[in-house]
A and B are shown apart, each in its own frame.
Chain A
């Protein structure tokens, strides 16, 4: 190691004498691609090198889009880093592998690597070096980042970095992306490689492409180098930490109970842990609203800020703790390595439905948000299984539905948190079962032609997730979610407040002093723009048993489902504000809300159940439609999906309400 570093320093000085450091003289940054087999620790490395947060997980194939970032300034001249999806096989099977190979071979239109960093798992040198040989054949500057060094003792192996480097003729730098150890060394090795494009021929270049002889030649290379010591696969298979955990979590009797217990624990802890934080946020927003009303001069502006902006945003912000906890637990599960076991467990039932074991991770992500889930479906090798997975993803009960269900269940089952929790559990499980049913029906009735399908999935070793990277990842996911959902929520709640508080002047009661009414005047809800718009489509809502105010909420929810909650806060707060001075909580307002001009309540058992069914099926998320279009490259599938699920939601919801009322359930 010491001589190695000395050599590196020497060549670095030499480089500075001979060349100008190329990175600083160019205005455009050089592009460095991070590559490697799936699960080699690329994304953690990306985190360490850029100091930014990217998706990283202990599940094969989590990097599904090309994430980019600048290297940290403290590592010297900055380069543009691009994290490529993991590649198992260079005879590319899945679209993401093909994408990576295209970039590495320089066939990609926009990403042209100037140098490549290959992440190589120290415990699986043969397989990972074979991929490195594919990269070496491109004759670009390259550096090998040797990851998973901390797992070597567990695998009862040791790797000599200097011997390995000498044998393959490519700079090798041990790193741990999760802690950032070795990142600075890696960057300086990279700078040297970039400054000296003409290096000696790597031994990896002569490794043949054909797999059988390639593996043999790498094995010979490693044996000759003496870099690898004491590899005891026999012991590893039976008595390792991972083998012991696998014997329990994949046990014939306990496997599925543990699997379901983990999922139930995941979703129930979301509600238990989040409660105090939700109360706090609720209190903060209502105090802010009071404060604004007290501080600002009374009038339309102060009410707009207090009710429209603060009230609307607060109604959704209250669910942020739940979303953060969901993302945190999902990240933990991914990083631990359990998700791959889950995928193996459910491969058989899923392939019976025409899906794939790998559909499990997109489906589970779908419970957080359909957008990353649709992207994660790229890891599914066969097109038929991939499209079918994408087709059922909008059914998975995403976190945007959570605020809606929480509100509706609060109205349906007042004062019984555990009953609401149980019902929510039923909704989550049903969304999975209905998704399975839809997939099964489609694969049996429509997509009858089966195509080739391969599982052959790596099961990574278990690793204890580190707290800091997990928290960083949680925050990056949650804040991305907040950014995506936040803007439409603020814009729509502001617009709705204005629409429901102003109306055409001619529709308002005539002023007492006989002056002509202005064109647009402050209005009560019944005579507002929202009322006029809403009443035009009210007949369509009759079967669902709700009035136009709920209809406005349903329409606005197409921007994002959770907007429904803030819309309810605005339309019902506004309409009830007249008869009460104190701010009442949204739930109480909803409970007492009646159809205009009658004493009939809007939110009854049947109409709330109808709304839940509507939200269960309906694809009320234009972002999902957009991402499905870009992933499948066709408007047809995306449009069909939108019409199918929204139509289904409307029909089933109406059918439920009508039949419940027929049976005497109001």
Chain B
């Protein structure tokens, strides 16, 4: 499923990272790689972006960016 549908504060494993080439590469560079575990910590007041914790880092991801990440 997409990271957008992930429950908050529940850990998931990244299955695949899609999206346009440059953006996809950026997410991989930041450590959002298939097999890695991540958790949606919260979303900011307007619901966008989401705050995701991955590899010990808090990362603000727009919903558009989160939709490219499929998790299990």
Contact = CB atoms under 8 A, between A and B. Distances in A.
Contacts of B28: 211-212
Nearest to A343: B60
A344 B25 contact: no
B34 A212 contact: yes
A456 B51 contact: no
Contact of B60 (A126, A237, A252, A459): A459
A242 interface: yes
Nearest to A257: B45
Interface in B49-72: 49, 51, 53, 55-62, 65
B40 to A, nearest CB: 9
Is the contact region of chain B dominated by helix, strand, or loop, or is it mixed? mixed
A459 B39 CA distance: 14
A583 interface: no
Contacts of B62: 347, 351, 454-456
A455 B49 contact: yes
A90 B29 contact: yes
A215 interface: yes
Contacts of A341: 44
A123 interface: yes
A93 interface: yes
B30 to A, nearest CB: 6
B42 A247 contact: yes
Nearest to B25: A91
A246 B30 contact: no
A459 B11 contact: no
B49 A357 contact: yes
A351 B63 CA distance: 12
Given A212-B34, A456-B65, A459-B59, A347 B48 contact: yes
| Interface size bracket, A side | 35 or more
B51 A246 contact: yes
B65 A238 contact: no
Contact of A238 (B22, B41, B56): B41
Interface string B23-43: 101111111011111010110
B56 A124 contact: yes
A216 B43 CA distance: 29
Contacts of B30: 88-89, 127, 456, 458
A126 B25 CA distance: 17
A293 to B, nearest CB: 59
A236 interface: yes
A243 interface: yes
Interface string B1-26: 00000000101000000001011011
A231 interface: yes
A250 B61 CA distance: 14
Contact of A234 (B11, B29, B46): B11
Contacts of B25: 89, 91, 211
Interface in A220-270: 231, 233-234, 236-238, 242-243, 246-247, 250-253, 255-256
Given A349-B46, A455-B65, A456-B61, A88 B23 contact: no
B65 A454 contact: yes
A249 B51 CA distance: 13
B29 A88 contact: yes
A251 B45 contact: yes
A459 B28 CA distance: 17
Contacts of A460: 58
A317 interface: no
A81 B66 CA distance: 39
A625 interface: no
From B34, B44, B53, name the one whose CB has the most chain A CB atoms within 10 angstroms: B44
Given A89-B25, A211-B33, A250 B42 contact: yes
A237 B46 contact: no
A457 B59 contact: yes
A400 to B, nearest CB: 32
Contacts of B39: 234, 237
B39 to A, nearest CB: 5
A127 B27 contact: no
27 contacts: A88-B26, A89-B25, A91-B25, A91-B29, A123-B56, A127-B30, A127-B56, A211-B33, A212-B33, A215-B55, A216-B33, A216-B35, A233-B37, A234-B11, A236-B56, A243-B41, A250-B45, A341-B44, A344-B44, A345-B45, A351-B62, A357-B49, A455-B61, A456-B27, A456-B61, A458-B58, A460-B58
Interface of B: 9, 11, 20, 22-23, 25-31, 33-37, 39, 41-42, 44-49, 51, 53, 55-62, 65
Interface of A: 88-91, 93, 123-124, 126-127, 130, 155, 211-212, 215-216, 231, 233-234, 236-238, 242-243, 246-247, 250-253, 255-256, 340-341, 343-345, 347-349, 351, 357, 452, 454-461
Top 4 A-B residue pairs of the complex, sorted by shortest distance between their CB atoms: A89-B29, A255-B45, A211-B28, A459-B58
Given A88-B30, A215-B55, A454-B26, 12 more contacts: A88-B26, A89-B29, A93-B22, A124-B57, A231-B56, A238-B41, A247-B42, A250-B51, A256-B45, A340-B60, A347-B48, A456-B61
